[in-house]
């Protein structure tokens, strides 16, 4: 169990705040215990799972009388959702409520709390839970988030295919290992992310070090076997709050092996060495229309990604290298190719150090996007008028560059202890200055555990520019609408 030097039932002081202080000051404050006893909750009753979650959401939706909150409650009450939540809690040995119960929380930290510049100073304890960039934005009243409100904590999980594969891995006592080429392998030597029986599994549901947590994050992928976002509207805003770039595009992503939810085949044809692929096609504006990019990942850790882009202005296809992955996708964007899904860099122990430095609770954007948008955006001011936040238990993963030549010296990912996906990310430049932050809200479906994206915020703390991505998930007919042509640059270039 990861604990602070203080009792885990005590609230940390402001002085020791993980979020409010520079993120490098806490390294070494956390120690790794050999015991994960607090996780072990077995034979969970489905009523117990539903009562904690549904009681809070019933009470909250009655108090707000918000139709979106009532619709979300109805989604959580789905019998399939309760059944899947119970199965995942039994497998992990905990859910978000079990972990939160270990902490002594401030009395004001509860659903319904509204946070604005007029009252944030009266709640100094917020610095313990609210990311510093969002805290400072609300405090100033002039940042990219004006106000925030807290909703009940949700319990998240993944689909039945991931559940079955992970359960099979555990029941058969298959403990993966990382070989000398930074490839994740099963005990029999097969590449875990290529083997149709293990590719969908979470390799370490209770990670004991940074490398194990990194692999579980990698295995999560994008939370679905086939992702389809169309359209994706991207706004690039100046520090004065003006929109200076606006793009419209489509994004697709596929997991190639261990498929059980979408389509009839467990493996995508002709992808024997490839784990997954992501693709983007630009619609607007005119000067980027027709731009196409495809990046596919080899399971072999030493083999470079298959990475190609089509440049319509030049009518040519360009093959990119790992160094090119640090370039912005388009002009005015803070997002580089390595920043897809907050982090899409190959696991490489010779270049990066992976450190699991602790765990804590944070306030983060909820994954309610399947039902409603968790934020109210102001186009005229290029900022969030209000964001909903929920309390989340996270592991803290530091990814430290050893080379001195990468765009970031350190990435700090706050990885959700239920989803294995990052709830928040902070990066620094090579001088240890805060560089970019990443905050997103997913479109997650309670009845089957499938996920896509709803919105993303990327803030540059150096030049104070902000990017916003607003995404429309396509749920229906993905097996027919996302095909080989989206992952073949010679066909995607002609996509209409």
Please report the pLDDT score of residue 10 as a whole number.
34
- pLDDT above 70: residue 169: yes
User: What HEC string does 306-346 produce?
Assistant: EEEEEECCCCEEEECCCHHHHCECCCCCCCEHHHHHHCCCC
Average pLDDT over residues 385-399: 98
- pLDDT above 60: residue 25: no
Q: In the structure, what pLDDT confidence band is assigned to residue 289 with cuts at 50, 70 and 90?
A: very high
Domain ranges of the chain: 43-496
350: which residues sit within 8 A by CB, 6+ positions away?
A: 182, 402
50 CA to centre of own chain: 25
Average pLDDT over residues 81-103: 96
Q: Which residue has the higher pLDDT, 425 or 21?
A: 425
CB-CB neighbours of 483 under 10 Å: 16
Please report the pLDDT score of residue 121 as a whole number.
97
CA distance linking residue 217 with residue 425, whole number of Å? 13
- pLDDT above 80: residue 17: no
**Contacts by residues 175-180 (CB-CB < 8 Å, ≥ 24 positions apart):** 176/203, 176/204, 176/215, 178/211, 178/215, 178/347, 178/349, 179/301
Please report the pLDDT score of residue 51 as a whole number.
73
The hierarchical CATH code for the domain 43-496 is 2.50.20.10
Q: In the structure, what pLDDT confidence band is assigned to residue 47 with cuts at 50, 70 and 90?
A: low
- pLDDT above 70: residue 35: no
- pLDDT above 60: residue 16: no
> H helices of 65-100, where?
67-76, 79-92, 96-100
CA distance linking residue 217 with residue 414, whole number of Å? 11
Burial code of 461-482, b = ≥16 C-beta within 10 A, e = fewer? beeebbbbbbbbbbeeebeeeb
At 480, phi and psi to the nearest 5? Answer: -90, -35
Point out the least confidently predicted range of 127-131, 259-263, 321-325, 489-493. Answer: 321-325
Q: What percent of the chain has pLDDT above 90? A: 87
What pLDDT digit, counting tens, does each position of 422-475 carry? 999 999 999 999 999 999 999 999 999 999 999 999 999 999 999 999 999 999
188: which residues sit within 8 A by CB, 6+ positions away?
A: none
What pLDDT digit, counting tens, does each position of 72-90 carry? 999 999 999 999 999 999 9
CB 361 within 8 A of CB 19: no
């Amino acid at each position: 169990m990861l604990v602070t030097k203080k009792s885990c039932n005590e609230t940390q002081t402001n002085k020791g705040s993980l979020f409010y202080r520079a993120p490098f000051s806490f390294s070494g404050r956390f120690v790794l215990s050999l015991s994960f006893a607090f996780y072990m909750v077995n034979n969970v009753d489905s009523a117990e799972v539903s009562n904690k979650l549904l009681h809070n959401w019933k009470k909250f939706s009655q108090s707000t009388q918000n139709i979106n909150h009532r619709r979300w409650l109805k989604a959580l009450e789905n019998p399939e959702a309760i059944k899947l939540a119970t199965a995942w809690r039994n497998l992990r040995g905990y859910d978000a409520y079990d972990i939160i119960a270990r902490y002594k929380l401030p009395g004001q930290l509860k659903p319904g709390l509204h946070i604005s510049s007029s009252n944030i100073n009266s709640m100094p304890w917020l610095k313990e839970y609210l990311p510093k960039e969002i805290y400072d934005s609300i405090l100033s009243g002039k940042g990219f988030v004006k106000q925030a409100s807290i909703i009940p904590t949700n319990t998240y999980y993944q689909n039945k295919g991931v559940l079955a594969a992970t359960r099979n891995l555990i029941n058969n006592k298959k403990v993966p290992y990382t070989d000398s080429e930074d490839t994740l392998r099963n005990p029999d030597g097969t590449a875990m992310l290529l083997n149709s029986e293990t590719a969908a599994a979470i390799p370490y549901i209770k990670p004991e070090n940074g490398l194990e947590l990194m692999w579980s994050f990698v295995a999560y992928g994008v939370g679905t076997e086939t992702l389809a976002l169309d359209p994706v509207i991207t706004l690039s805003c100046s520090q004065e709050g003006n929109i200076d770039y606006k793009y419209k595009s489509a994004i697709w992503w596929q997991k190639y092996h261990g498929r059980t939810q979408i389509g009839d085949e467990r493996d995508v044809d002709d992808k024997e060495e490839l784990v997954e692929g992501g693709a983007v096609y630009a619609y607007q504006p005119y000067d980027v229309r027709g731009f196409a990019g495809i990046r596919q990942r080899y399971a072999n850790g030493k083999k470079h990604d298959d990475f190609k882009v089509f440049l319509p202005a030049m009518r040519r296809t360009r093959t990119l290298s790992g160094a090119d992955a640090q370039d912005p996708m388009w002009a005015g964007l803070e997002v580089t190719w390595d920043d897809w899904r907050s982090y899409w860099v190959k696991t490489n122990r010779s270049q990066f150090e992976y450190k699991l430095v602790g765990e804590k609770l944070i306030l983060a954007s909820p994954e309610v996007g399947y039902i409603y948008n968790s934020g109210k955006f102001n186009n005229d001011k290029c900022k969030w008028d209000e964001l909903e936040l929920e309390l989340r238990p996270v592991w803290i993963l530091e990814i430290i560059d050893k080379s001195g030549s990468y765009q970031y010296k350190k990435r700090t990912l706050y990885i959700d202890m239920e989803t294995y996906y990052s709830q928040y990310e902070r990066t620094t430049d090579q001088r240890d200055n805060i560089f970019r932050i990443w905050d997103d809200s997913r479109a997650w479906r309670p009845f089957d555990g499938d996920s896509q994206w709803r919105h993303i915020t990327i803030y540059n703390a150096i030049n104070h520019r902000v990017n916003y991505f607003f995404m429309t998930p396509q749920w229906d007919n993905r097996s027919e609408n996302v095909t080989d042509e989206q992952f073949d640059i010679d066909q995607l270039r002609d996509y209409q």
